[in-house]
Amino acid sequence: MRKAVWISFGIALVLVNAIAEIGNYYTGIEIHMFLRIAIIFGVTMGTFVFTGSFALINAMDSEKPLAGTVRNTLGADRKKDPEP
């Protein structure tokens, strides 16, 4: 997960600055550095959230249910019912 966030940070850093410079060259509209940093931070945090969600969903598939019934999986300190 850490690797995906760093990769998205690097890509966002390069792409946002490249798009801002190309836009400034062709249109003359300057995007301030504060807005660029905010967009880069937003893309990185979005990747962090989606990567974390993906990791949780994958971990959910590997969980196994408890064996037995509810009465015998509540803990070792629970009294066992006498058998009839």
Q: 0.85 exceeded by the pTM?
A: no
Could you read off the pLDDT of 9-58 as tens digits, one per residue?
A: 999 999 999 999 999 999 999 999 999 999 999 999 999 999 999 988 88
Mean pLDDT of 57-84: 63
Report pLDDT for 78: 53
Report pLDDT for 20: 94
The residue assigned the tokens 């009465």 is: 71
Judge contact between 66 and 73, C-beta under 8 A: yes
